[in-house]
Amino acid sequence: MTKRAALENLKPAARILQQAKHAVVFTGAGISTPSGIPDFRTASTGLWMKDDPMQVASLSAFNVHPERFFAWLKPLLSAITATRPNPAHFSIARLENAGVIKAVITQSIDLLHQQAGTKTVLPLHGSVDKLVCVKCHARFLTIQYLEDFLQRDVIPRCPTCSRYLKPDIVLFEEMLPMEIWNQAYQQVEQSDVILVSGSSLEVYPASSLPQFAVQNGAMLIINTLSTTPMDSEADLLLPFDSAEILPLLTGMVLGE
């Protein structure tokens, strides 16, 4: 698809969103790469191009080789802490504020949607603002341990049972949080439009939500730089940087 043809898709995409009764946005880590946070699967820069996820980001890695897990986590957490929402995040927040979209379902763990002002955010894979003890299940705010960890490599421990605290994110070998999953499923079940941005749609079960929406009759708009397994099912493709295309799309939707 040429750039001109892709940009032409903005007009029908805007009309689809304007006419939607229950539009939902589904985002992945790619929406945050313009903010400086690496995604997981992009060739040469993705985190899984550098490390085997089962060796560094699985529950087994956390339990058996915690030093390996925290060494992997540190640069990612440092990047997340230092970054800010980009125009894509703010555009989505504007669409929600205008009543165009009802919810954001995200695979991102960085809280940038919330920082941008989006109110209904369903983080399927958790978020980095909390820590949990896998033994006694006590929860703590990450900010309490952040400086010691990033500046002095002090790995956070539970003050009650002294076990290492795990970031409240979904690691490989873990189930998705059921309450968030159920809320996301309900949003998708009601949707008549789903806008996917920054997701490869390769991570199951999260990727099953857009699939379910389409099977349930929803229209599908995909905004990713790479191809996805659902491209052939999309009503429109917007293969551009989300931080560039979503502000344009938002302006059209809001009649600016």
Q: Which residues are catalytic?
A: 125
The yes-or-no verdict on residue 48 having pLDDT over 50 is no
- From first CA to last CA, the distance across the chain in angstroms is 26
Which CB contacts under 8 angstroms, 24+ apart, belong to 76-81?
A: 76/37, 76/38, 76/47, 77/128, 77/146, 77/149, 77/150, 77/167, 78/150, 79/36, 79/37, 79/38, 80/37, 80/109, 80/110, 80/111, 80/128, 81/146, 81/150
Across all residues in the chain, what is the average pLDDT? 92
Q: What mean pLDDT do residues 67-86 have?
A: 93
Question: Is the pLDDT score of 40 beyond 80?
Answer: no
pLDDT over 90 percentage in the chain? 83
Its sign, for the CA torsion 205, 234, 102, 5, is positive
User: Residues 12-29: what's their mean pLDDT?
Assistant: 97
pLDDT at residue 46 is higher than 70: no
pLDDT value of residue 55 = 80
Q: Which of 23, 57, 53 is nearest to 197 (CA)?
A: 23
Q: Is the pLDDT of residue 51 over 70?
A: no
pLDDT value for 44? 47
The pLDDT of 159-182, averaged and rounded, is 95
